Amino acid sequence: MKRPGLVSDDFKRVEAHACPMSTCAAPAGSPCCTGKGRVAIQYHAARFRLVPQLTKALSVPTPAVRKPGSFWTELPRPASAGAEPVGHVRLGYARASTARQSLDAQLDSLAEAEVTRIFSEKISTRATKRPSWRPP
């Protein structure tokens, strides 16, 4: 149980992730921001739900140390902010307009980019019916 006056470190877990909301897009290490350029009173739900321990929370308040309501400025990012999250999949798409064209160059580029799941199709952009995507 938390003692009164102590700040929960939930905000550190939330700020380990960048905010996925396009209207905020706060990077890892910074609090969420409002549309008016101020520090948000609470973190956006899409962001704190990235933390398994907080997925059922109704809201996560921004602690006083982050100065909610003040003008928002980016804070230093944590050292682990550039690391790709574990368990995420990188998707790729390759397409050729005709059956005679090759997908090899596109597939090689996607493999170099370490894409883990690639969808491809050989079909004209004018086609109104398309089969479901399939791995090569």
Q: Residue range 98-111: average pLDDT?
A: 86
Task: Identify the CA nearest to 28 among candidates 10, 44, 14, 49.
Answer: 14
Task: Identify the CA nearest to 68 among candidates 41, 35, 43.
Answer: 41
> What share of the chain in percent tops pLDDT 70?
83
pTM over 0.85: no
Q: Residue range 28-54: average pLDDT?
A: 90
Task: Identify the CA nearest to 65 among candidates 129, 15, 26.
Answer: 15
Per mean pLDDT, which range of 1-15, 44-58, 97-111 is the poorest?
A: 1-15
Q: Where are the domains of the chain?
A: 8-76, 88-136
The pLDDT score that the predictor gives to residue 79 is: 73
Task: Convert the pLDDT of each residue in 71-104 to its tens digit.
Answer: 999 888 877 655 555 556 778 888 888 878 888 8
